[in-house]
Amino acid sequence: YPLSGHVANLSVLFAFCKQYDKIICTSPEDGGYPGLSHDKLPRYLNLKTDYLPYDNGLLNIDLLTEMFRQNNYKLLFFSSAHTLFPEDIKTIKKTIDKLDSNTLIIYDASHPLGLIAGGEFQKPLSEGADIMLGSTQKSFPGPQGGIILADNEELFKTIDSSLHFVTVDNPHFHRIAALCITLEE
């Protein structure tokens, strides 16, 4: 019941900021969501932010591996504000699993959510993302709001504990009902 994709991102950050001190995400220069840049949400939660090493639009796996060896990131956000192509989540998951980093992969589906739901884009959760979140009113035709999905019940409980009375005080049940109807369709 987050009220926007931004609040969904904030809720996930709140859920884990006490455990971790650093995130890695897509930089605004590479099309990443500006709300996750080092001077926005992470700053207010005392999280350091590093950026995924893109090279002409492609993720540099060798440089990413070296960055993980040096920093042992626990939260990786694919946070594109300008989603044009799928991310290679499977390769990233294999790469970081080899490093035994126990990193959570969070995929911000704000822009392609409708395409994902319609089966016309990648499937982040089945490709290795631990959490998928996003806005519900862009390519997904629902009401203004946010959504957080996870296959792991314990992981979702951790996130849920940061929603009510932390990032969302009033869940706006009329919006949730409209979202449920859209999800059913």
Q: What is the pLDDT of residues 60-86, one digit of tens each?
A: 999 999 999 999 899 999 998 888 889
* Local structure of 130: helix, strand or coil: coil
> Which pLDDT value is given to residue 74?
93
Task: DSSP for 15-46, please give it.
Answer: HHTTT-SEEEE--GGGTB-GGGSTTSHHHHTT
> Which pLDDT value is given to residue 24?
97
Q: What are φ and ψ of residue 172, in 5° steps?
A: 55, 75
Cα dihedral value 45, 48, 50, 51, nearest 10: 20
* Residue where the block lists tokens 């319609």: 118
Positions in the chain whose pLDDT score sits under 50: none
> Which pLDDT value is given to residue 26?
94
Q: How many CA atoms lie within 13 A of 23 on its CB side?
A: 32
Q: What is the pLDDT of residues 102-128, one digit of tens each?
A: 899 999 999 999 999 999 999 999 999
In angstroms, the CA 163 to CA 92 distance is 28
Cα dihedral value 111, 4, 166, 18, nearest 10: 20
Radius of gyration of the chain (CA): 16
Is beta strand 104-108 parallel, antiparallel or unpaired with respect to 131-135? parallel
